Chain A
Amino acid sequence: MSNQTAPSPWKSLVELPANVWHSIFRNPLPSSDLGRASTSFTNFFLHLHPVKVHRNSLKASYTLGLGLISFFLFFILVVTGVLLMFYYVPSTTQAYDRMLDLRGTVAFGIFLRNMHRWSAHGMVAIVFLHMCRVFLTGSYKPPREFNWVLGVLLLLVTLFMSFTGYLLPWDQLAFWAITVGTSIAGYAPVFGKQIKFILLGDSTVGQEALLRFYVLHVAVLPAILSLLAAIHFWRIRKDGGLSRPAEEDALPAEMAEVQIVQGPAVVMATSAAAVNAAKPVLQKRHYGIQGLVRGPFTKVGNVPDRSVSPGRIFLWRSL
């Protein structure tokens, strides 16, 4: 019937490990800058970081890495926090004993709790220092003013996370700290008393307050913080990377004459990219490699363009 014969079961079995291996590692390791750039560009996790960054961004003393440290601390807090949730009960009769059990009985409990505790203290301190760095380097100025606003919101959410977490051990320190803290909220003009009542769910710190603070601490605030942080990171890229002195962006005369000699035309996804490549490399230079890898590596822009504005067909505009 056909010349093709089914491979022998034995041969299939022998090839199985290699098949599985090559199903996961589908491409050879990149050997060129272009290949490495395309790897970053087409990988979900790697694409978060730019393929090329400004020379200044590489200086450790430039930002002291405070923003990333904040993020890593938040990551530690999420991981240890989820693990602590397996053993903690937000009930006035159980919370304190559960906390003691986490310190004394649960395997690695004291390690997890201390990691959570010290990372929380650290995150508040580092976020504050991060804000100082941004202020002192003038990085809040346009075009980064919106990211500064996001940063202020992130600081407030971080402080509120710290405040809500403080009640959960349900010891004397926690109880009176939240009594005092919510009373301070009660001094707010006009709505103070109502804000305090809504925060506590009662007139004094009790079961309602513990449950409310727990839900805020483990669900509501982390969700808000994650969303804001995602936009915060996205804005860094959209605002042109980390801030730097304006004179750093003015290229020396000899570099302004450099032209891209590589970059075969077949690689170009769009005619616009081809035009850009033909021009002397100026302001866009820092992101040049990313422009080169677009075409063959992603489907976007590599398929016939028959898209229309969704507003034209889906929304009420077309009625």
Chain B
Amino acid sequence: MKIPARNAVEENGDAITRRRVLAWFSGFGLFGSLIITALSNLIFIKPRATYGQPNRFSIGKPEDFPSGARVSLDTQRVCIVRDGDKLAAISTTCTHLGCIVSVSETGFACPCHGSRYDQDGNVTGGPAPRALPWYQVSLAPNGEIEVDKDNEIEAGSYLRV
């Protein structure tokens, strides 16, 4: 068997040889498929559907929350605040590292690293970097209150019920 000389390309100078074109194509194919594999794995691992607690949920009729009530819903991780005819939903997920804050006399307190918030969710102590967000609350046609955790609203904006 005659094995072609290794320096055939050099002998041809800079001419575009079949070998060089094929090498270029296979290199392109190899690295291209590597990049596509990496990207598609990244896309695959990010879920398109989640199966946990939905971000938009209803919490019952306004009558369930009498005036002055501060009801913490731990599964949904919101605190429903009712003051007269004003109603709001404040997040109970600590802005520090995600523990559930509990309702205290002065507002909210986190059991994990001691963050403190006032009644409106503003930080009054501890490592929390931000105030607790307020979520949009609306009345559904069936008369139930609906909380949308995808929509943060300005602190102090209430729903009139």
The residues of A with any CB-CB pair to B shorter than 8 Å are 176, 179-180, 182-184, 186, 194, 197-198, 201-204, 206-208, 308, 312-313, 316-319
Contact = CB atoms under 8 A, between A and B. Distances in A.
Contacts of B55: 203
B112 A180 contact: yes
A203 B112 CA distance: 19
14 contacts: A176-B99, A179-B97, A180-B97, A180-B99, A182-B98, A183-B98, A186-B98, A202-B50, A203-B53, A204-B52, A208-B51, A317-B6, A318-B4, A319-B19
A181 to B, nearest CB: 8
Nearest to B17: A319
B22 interface: yes
B46 A319 contact: no
B13 interface: no
A174 to B, nearest CB: 14
A318 B45 CA distance: 40
B19 A317 contact: yes
B154 to A, nearest CB: 22
A160 to B, nearest CB: 15
Q: Is the interface of B mostly helix, strand, loop or mixed?
A: loop
Contact of A308 (B3, B23, B47, B97): B3
Interface in B114-128: none
Residue of B55, B77, B97, B99 ringed by the most chain A CB atoms within 10 A: B97
The range of chain B's interface size is 20 to 34
Given A202-B47, A316-B23, 16 more contacts: A176-B112, A179-B97, A182-B98, A183-B96, A183-B98, A198-B46, A201-B47, A204-B52, A204-B77, A206-B52, A208-B52, A313-B3, A316-B22, A316-B26, A317-B23, A318-B4
Nearest to B94: A183
A176 B74 CA distance: 14
Nearest to A92: B52
A208 B47 contact: yes
Contacts of B19: 316-317, 319
Contact of B98 (A179, A207, A308, A319): A179
Contacts of A186: 98
B47 A318 contact: no
A98 B160 CA distance: 48
A204 B18 CA distance: 56
Interface in B12-54: 18-19, 22-23, 26, 45-47, 50-53
B91 to A, nearest CB: 12
Nearest to A180: B97
Contacts of B22: 316, 319
Contacts of B3: 308, 312-313, 318
Contacts of A319: 18-19, 22
Contacts of B23: 316-317
A8 B155 CA distance: 99
Nearest to A176: B99
Nearest to A316: B22
A198 B43 CA distance: 10
Contacts of A183: 96-98
A206 B97 contact: no
A145 to B, nearest CB: 26
A98 to B, nearest CB: 20
A167 to B, nearest CB: 14
A186 B3 CA distance: 58
Contacts of B50: 201-203, 208
